């Protein structure tokens, strides 16, 4: 019956919506992890630059 199909579609849409929300949350979590990694890398590069400069000056 078409009612059963509509119910199934409605259920599928709800499932997909939940999955999309979970993916969105995962992406947002990764964004902050990526930003933290970029910040760490920038600090490490700065430390290396400082070491190179201090060796060159000696």
Q: Could you report the per-residue pLDDT of 3-51, keeping only the tens digit for each?
A: 999 999 999 999 999 999 999 999 999 999 999 999 999 999 999 999 8
Q: Give the span between the Cα atoms of 12 and 19, in whole angstroms.
A: 11
Q: Give the span between the Cα atoms of 20 and 57, in whole angstroms.
A: 55
Residue 57 above 80 pLDDT?
no
Residue with tokens 């059963």: 4
pLDDT digits (tens, 9 = 90+) for 41-52: 999 999 999 988
């Amino acid at each position: 019956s078409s009612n059963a199909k509509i119910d199934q579609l409605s259920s599928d849409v709800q499932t997909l919506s939940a999955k999309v929300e979970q993916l969105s949350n995962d992406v947002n979590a990764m964004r902050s992890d990526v930003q933290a990694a970029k910040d760490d890398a920038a600090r490490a590069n700065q430390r290396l630059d400082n070491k190179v400069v201090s060796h060159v000056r000696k």
